[in-house]
Amino acid sequence: MRRRPAVRRPGRPLFRYHVWVRVSLWISVAVVTVLFGWGAWQRRWIADDGLIVLRTVRNLLAGNGPVFNQGERVEANTSTAWTYLMYLGSWVGGPMRMEYVALALALTLSLLGVGLLMLGAGRLYAPSLRGRRAIMVPAGALAYIALPPARDFATSGLESGLTLAYLGLLWWMMVCWAQPVRGRPDGPVFIGALAFVAGFSVLVRPELALMGGLALIMMLVAARTWRRRALVVVAGGFLPVAYEIFRMGYYGLLVPGTALAKDAAGDKWSQGMVYLSNFNAPYALWVPAVLLLPLGALMAAARRRPSFLRPVLSPDYGRFARAVQSPSAVVAFVLFSGLLQGFYWIRQGGDFMHARVLLAPLFCLLAPVAVVPVAVPDGQDYSRETGYWVAGAASALWLGLAGWSLWAANSPGMGYDATHVTYSGIVDERRFYAQATGRAHPLTAADYLDYPRMAAVLTALDNTPEGALLLPSGNYIQWDLVPMAQPAPGSNPNDTVPQKPQHTVFFTNLGMLGMNVGLDVRVIDQIGLANPLAQHTERLKHGRIGHDKNLFPDWVIADGPWVKVYPGIPGYLDANWVAQAVAALKCPETQAVLSSVRAPMTLHRFVSNAVHSFEFTRYRIDRVPLYELARCGLPVPEAIPPPPRE
């Protein structure tokens, strides 16, 4: 008599875990998240770059749009999702300081990401643990939280926490999608949600499209009907495509302004290898790799494939489609995604913040072994002797990993070089700003007033009610001032200078500066994060990574209502360079680029920006005004004689 296949009753678990498995998994999740939260809180801070997004949020709340400076449409934040999540959190938080909203959101999302990573790995091993006694112990998740940079960036105010939550959620959903069991979440609601999450990747961080796009491709291959494929395309592509159209029309670019400023498509292989070495050296990352690789292989070899699952698959499903929608394929997917992201960052040159951009790739690589089961030998799949050997080997590897984690958690990191900008350009950002501000936990913009020049900028603004351009001085307690140009005697003021006094501050640290001054003060930098002119300069070959564009202050004087001759400009600047920059700004292509972000936003402007966004993204100017005049074919203005010597 043929046995009738069992039918899962509603509300019953997909896998009949032994109570040891279920309890130990949740204990592991709780212990790791508590340890991670405690460690992150001990190192809590908000980075200067984390404050940059808050300036955009202030403008959104004030009704000025998603801009860094009023009247200038520049996307100064890489993560679109983090910007609008901060906007929503600040709107709901009301009177709460934005810095505390950022701190709470970043920490919560970081903990959520680690928890989802472990739950996804726990579900991955579920079929092989059906009815068996086993203990789930944290492995890859333990290695991740042991790293000091992982705890640093859990509260930095950057999108790092959102990235962890996104990666953990996508991993967990992909494992659910791949489990070939009765009751698999394979309905249109789940498929639409998974496709939406996969497509959302590009809005979390642009390079995560490498992972989200691959997930969508896998879903399209595994889909059994064209209707299901259409659902995947629409759910996964609608929001990213809609926002890309908005970006093209509103900002006049194909990519975030930060990607243009940092030349995200460029390559600096040698610097990337320096960055990888800088991450590996303080923590001996080869040790957990040596331990986790055989541990993962051991778990894969011991994994049971229950035969009762086979009848669930439709005979016309296709061998290749079945292979794509399988746990093994999802493991390959997350490992390949981690390697691909790491490869991208090494090619791009890494970052100036120690370990920051390699944390997400590492998070992906650790996903399949975030937790691992140590099974109690029962003699079902192999002899008890073999079972004891497997359990003993797994336990020994885990104990070695736990020992390394304890050592790495107390590592001094970069040591002496942590707060020094050496030739590599890489620093421990948290320690750097803690030392520079004299505060162990710089959290608010006010905490950064103790940073060099910050308190002085408020004094300089108060002392120039008629308006001025502020340039950083060699003296850390003062700024060089360039006054606004005054109308010539007998001229119409409306034809020469704005009626309202203006202030512009030209400085690298946009976050602390932008959050400590009013929204009526224009804040720009020489790197191009918030400066549309600097964005379109060429990347310097030997510049500090992440800061390898450098616009001369002559351009800033030329591009505003400031005095352009001596004695109004500082003596270390050349009035001829300023005059040449004024002439170079009349280049028609440059005028078109600047108009795309400064002209009033109308339907015609939106369409024009979208049509020309490709050429605007590719456009580059020469940072030397004389060379820029030659590039544009413009005449060199008449030389200005030097000022008389006293």
Tens of pLDDT, residues 207-220? 999 999 999 999 99
Q: Indicate if the pLDDT at residue 113 is higher than 90.
A: yes
State residue 393's pLDDT score: 85
Residue 165 is encoded by which pair of tokens?
A: 């939550």
State residue 501's pLDDT score: 92
**Which of the pair, 11 or 229, is modelled with greater confidence?**
229
Mean pLDDT across the chain, nearest whole number?
90
**Which of the pair, 317 or 125, is modelled with greater confidence?**
125
Q: Indicate if the pLDDT at residue 445 is higher than 90.
A: yes
Residues 513-572: tens digit of each pLDDT:
999 999 999 999 999 999 999 999 999 988 898 888 999 999 999 999 999 999 999 999
Q: How confident is residue 127, by pLDDT bands cut at 50, 70 and 90? A: confident
Residue 503 is encoded by which pair of tokens?
A: 């202030």
Percent of the chain exceeding pLDDT 70 equals 90
Rounded to an integer, what distance in angstroms lies between the CA atom of residue 413 and that of residue 147? Answer: 9
Rounded to an integer, what distance in angstroms lies between the CA atom of residue 521 and that of residue 636? Answer: 32
Residues 240-270: tens digit of each pLDDT:
999 999 999 999 999 999 999 998 888 899 9
Strands 371-375 and 134-138: antiparallel
CB atoms within 10 A of CB 488: 10
- From the list 545, 608, 557, 607, the residue with the least C-alpha distance to 581 is 557
Q: Which residues of 274-307 are buried (b: 16+ CB within 10 A; e: fewer)?
A: bbbebbeebbebebbeebbeebbebbeebbeeee
DSSP summary character for residue 587: -
Q: Indicate if the pLDDT at residue 44 is higher than 70.
A: yes
- From the list 76, 84, 526, 67, the residue with the least C-alpha distance to 256 is 76
Mean pLDDT for 19-46 is 94
Which residues, in sequence order, are CB contacts of 508 under 8 Å at separation 6+? 525, 526, 527, 547
Mean pLDDT for 485-499 is 65
C-beta of residue 222 within 8 angstroms of C-beta of residue 324:
yes
Q: Give the Å distances, CA to CA, from 230 to 215, 236, 239, 259, 479.
A: 15, 10, 15, 31, 59
Which residues, in sequence order, are CB contacts of 399 under 8 Å at separation 6+? none
Rounded to an integer, what distance in angstroms lies between the CA atom of residue 331 and that of residue 312? Answer: 22
DSSP summary character for residue 149: H
Rounded to an integer, what distance in angstroms lies between the CA atom of residue 240 and that of residue 217? Answer: 16
Q: How confident is residue 187, by pLDDT bands cut at 50, 70 and 90? A: confident
Q: Indicate if the pLDDT at residue 199 is higher than 50.
A: yes
State residue 513's pLDDT score: 97
Rounded to an integer, what distance in angstroms lies between the CA atom of residue 646 and that of residue 642? Answer: 12
Q: Indicate if the pLDDT at residue 311 is higher than 60.
A: no
**Which of the pair, 467 or 2, is modelled with greater confidence?**
467
User: Using omega within 30 degrees of 0 as the cis cutoff, is the peptide bond preceding 635 cis?
Assistant: no
C-beta of residue 497 within 8 angstroms of C-beta of residue 486:
yes
Which helix (H) or strand (E) segment holds residue 228: the answer is helix 226-250
State residue 256's pLDDT score: 95
3-state SS track over 410-431: CCCCCHHHHHCCCCCCCECHHH
Please tell me whether residue 469 adopts helix, strand or coil conformation.
strand
Q: Output the pTM of the full model.
A: 0.93
Min mean pLDDT across 64-78, 168-182, 301-315, 529-543 is at 301-315
Min mean pLDDT across 310-314, 382-386, 444-448 is at 310-314
Q: How confident is residue 307, by pLDDT bands cut at 50, 70 and 90? A: very low
Q: How confident is residue 633, by pLDDT bands cut at 50, 70 and 90? A: very high
Q: Indicate if the pLDDT at residue 498 is higher than 70.
A: no
Q: Which residues of 440-449 are buried (b: 16+ CB within 10 A; e: fewer)?
A: ebbbbbebbe
